[in-house]
Chains A and B, each alone.
Chain A
Amino acid sequence: MEGSKIMKIYEIPEQENMRPGHLACPGCGAALAMRYVLKALGDKTIISLPACCWSVIDGPFPYSSLRVPLFHCAFETAASTAAGVRAGLDVKGKEEVHVLAWAGDGGTFDIGIQALSGAAERNENIIYVCYDNEAYMNTGIQRSSATPFGAWTTTTPVKHYKNRPKKDIVAIMAAHRIPYVATTTVGFPNDLIRKMIKAKDIKGTKFIHIYAPCPTGWKCKPDDTIKISKLVVETAVFPLYEIEDGEKYTLNFMPKIKKPVSEYLKMQGRFRHLTEKEIEIIQKDVDFYWKKLLEKCNK
């Protein structure tokens, strides 16, 4: 995060590959994520898109809000469909076209993990982006294995909130020893763009985990999306880092002062019911994993 902030803004490519008129909710982190990702990848990109918010956001037949070809695939097949697209393009000599699998957390952490693991183990030359809004938002806010400890969803009511931690998808993907795994968020567009451009030039499976707030599901203000995306990094709830070849960890953002998780939690209605004690549990968990991450990054 060094250098002039003004200069950084202009590093974001001007070309828009996403049109206005899409169907995202106000403040949707996933819509912003797609806009940035396609700016970085350019229009020589084909997307495999399983059931997720984006299968609605793009627009109903015959409309599409994207300027790249998009294939709506079955819920659990983002990676396997992308592998087929890649194989078809390669056999036709179109190696220069990028294949982007674009799935939500449900399609990645849960139902699609088998196909994703298969593709990663084969090191398919695809870019897999999971835009993570931490629940099944498209179907009406049901818990996924990406839902964090303590969160309310429609299937984890306040009296029975989610009492298991979020699945560590980044560690799972790194364990496949693929060339590139990275976390990023819409609150850090320069980081997001840089990582996508980096991924573009690496051969093999690239997994990018994008934290994408959902004001509708998180019960937060639509105009707080960016603020929350920054806070989640500043509190180390979702640190920005990358892992090369399953081994080389690099921390991309070191908060000057690590903010308390309560600042992050209090902005979202989904955590409103949490007691001081429960917040303390979350803080301890975050501190524990942050320490472990710093060790891996040699910090």
Chain B
Amino acid sequence: MCKGMSKICNNNGGGEMRKVITGNHAVSYGALLSRVEVIAAYPITPQTQIVELLSEFCAEGILRAKFVKVESEHSAMATCIGASAVGARAFTATSAQGLALMHELLHWAAGGRFPIVLANVNRAMAPGWSIWTDQNDSLSQRDTGWMQIYCESNQEVLDSVIQGYRIAEKVYIPLMLILDAFVLSHTSEIVDIPSQEEVDRYLPPFKPKFKLDPDDPHAFGGLLGPDHYMEIRYLLQKDMERALEVAKKADREFYEIFGRSYGIIEPYKCENAEIIMVTSGTITSTARTVIDKLREKGKKVGLLKIRMFRPFPSIDVKNVLLKAKKVLVIDRNISYGIGGIFFQEIKSVLYNEDKHLPIFGFIAGLGGRDVTPQILEEMIEYVEVHNKPEEPILWRGVKL
């Protein structure tokens, strides 16, 4: 870690620096370059390295932020909210049980319109104890009013922190960026770390329209009767809708400065594809290799990566999928009693279309179980020979 810090110190002269770092440290560098002002966090595996490196950045004076070492994730989010309410750029990171403990305050952050950025390392929920990846922790927070971005690589992780503040502070909605436990969090990849000058050009200081200010005193979050409450929530939804365009623009402008772009979704080899596989997180990388292989064999298959899950890019998703004949959705998560959560979203987006599109909902990889290229190929083979799914949930890899 210390080596990393000396390098970042030397990076002030401008120009990109290339480093081999874990997904966790990619988050820390993203927060550093975003010049976060208040950090409040509590340790939880596999997130802990993010805040460890950030505490070192703060201790060394590389990052001029106040790091509040709270006694729980609940207090972490409350502290971020308090800091954001006085106009400071606030950051936290967590996983699984920690995110669940924050739940009440995730509503508070979104309802109060505080553009906090949170990095969540996807980890399966207990019991039994698991530290391995799946998406049930973040997807359980789907309806809290937070934006959600699912990342595929460590580069995307770092870039999404910076983009995250840019998007969040434009629409006054907090943003959660999400990375898979271990597959990204503890795996080192080559990452281009942009220069501070470039990031400063992209991300201006946070200057909120409203803040707690003794020179202009107001009460925030007071009792809202039935005459006012609904409008406040309507406005949150309207800004969520607006956030789709804001995120696209933020991504385009990011490309102009840094030469990298992700989109809010990413269609991969979807031209003339008859079957499109829908993924999120690191399963996407595995799926790319499978699609490449099958394309070489002449199969008309494509891939759609969902990067932004909230707000859901309904129209963009529809435009891609309606060109296919069949859709296959892979969920590393489950809403008990119905099935995969991405599957439900994709189905609802396509329901009112004239074209009837068979959609296959697979669940795989819960609790960090490997989702191999072979499993993905078998899913495509299943879809090829079936006109519709034989079961509402197509489980793959269950040993029972």
Contact = CB atoms under 8 A, between A and B. Distances in A.
A48 interface: yes
B259 interface: no
A45 B228 CA distance: 28
B78 interface: yes
B19 to A, nearest CB: 27
B219 A80 contact: no
A90 interface: yes
Nearest to B220: A71
B71 A60 contact: no
Contact of B214 (A56, A68, A80): A68
Contact of A81 (B69, B78, B222): B78
Contact of A71 (B38, B70, B221, B224): B221
A68 B217 contact: yes
Contact of A46 (B65, B68, B212, B224): B212
Contacts of A89: 86
Contact of A72 (B66, B75, B220): B220
A84 B71 contact: no
A141 to B, nearest CB: 20
A70 B219 CA distance: 5
A69 B78 contact: no
B105 A74 contact: yes
Which of A66, A84, A90 has the most chain B CB within a 10 Å cutoff? A84
B222 A87 contact: no
Contacts of B38: 84, 87-88, 91
Sorting the interface of chain A by its residue count into under 10, 10 to 19, 20 to 34 or 35 or more gives 35 or more
Contact of B72 (A45, A64, A118, A122): A118
A83 B65 CA distance: 14
Contact of B222 (A59, A83, A91): A59
Instruction: Specify the main secondary structure of chain A where it touches its partner.
Output: mixed
Contact of B221 (A73, A118, A122): A73
A73 B76 CA distance: 13
Contact of A60 (B68, B86, B104, B224): B224
B373 interface: no
A80 B222 contact: no
Interface in B62-105: 64-66, 68-72, 74-76, 78-88, 90, 104-105
Nearest to A124: B68
A43 B82 contact: no
Contacts of A82: 82
Q: How large is the interface on B (under 10, 10 to 19, 20 to 34, 35 or more residues)?
A: 35 or more
A17 to B, nearest CB: 9
A115 B104 CA distance: 15
Given A64-B222, A84-B38, A77 B83 contact: no
A46 B86 contact: yes
Interface in B121-143: none
Contacts of B87: 88, 92
Nearest to B76: A80
A223 B220 CA distance: 32
Contacts of B105: 74, 77
A288 interface: no
A178 B80 CA distance: 23
A77 B106 CA distance: 13
A74 B108 contact: yes
B213 interface: yes
B229 to A, nearest CB: 9
Contact of B82 (A63, A67, A83, A97): A83
Nearest to A115: B75
Interface string A106-144: 000000001101100110100000000000000000000
B85 A91 contact: no
Nearest to A78: B78
A68 B216 CA distance: 8
A44 interface: yes
B158 interface: no
B44 to A, nearest CB: 16
B266 interface: no
B68 to A, nearest CB: 5
Contacts of A76: 74
Interface in B205-225: 212-214, 216-225
A181 B212 CA distance: 27
B79 A61 contact: no
A154 B224 CA distance: 27
Contacts of B212: 46, 69, 71, 85
A66 to B, nearest CB: 7
Contacts of A87: 38, 40, 66, 68, 79, 82-83, 88
Given A71-B212, A84-B90, A115 B222 contact: no
A56 B223 CA distance: 7
A187 B65 CA distance: 43
Contacts of B169: none
Interface string B44-76: 000000000000000000001110111110111
A58 interface: yes
A61 B217 contact: no
A55 interface: yes
- Which 3 residue pairs are nearest across A and B when measured between Cβ atoms? A84-B82, A118-B71, A88-B88
29 contacts: A56-B223, A59-B219, A60-B223, A60-B224, A60-B225, A61-B225, A62-B222, A64-B222, A69-B220, A71-B221, A73-B78, A73-B221, A74-B104, A80-B74, A80-B78, A81-B81, A83-B70, A84-B38, A84-B79, A84-B80, A87-B66, A87-B68, A91-B88, A92-B86, A94-B86, A115-B70, A115-B75, A118-B75, A121-B71
Given A61-B223, A85-B82, A121-B71, 12 more contacts: A60-B225, A62-B222, A64-B217, A72-B221, A72-B222, A77-B81, A80-B74, A82-B82, A87-B68, A87-B79, A87-B88, A122-B69
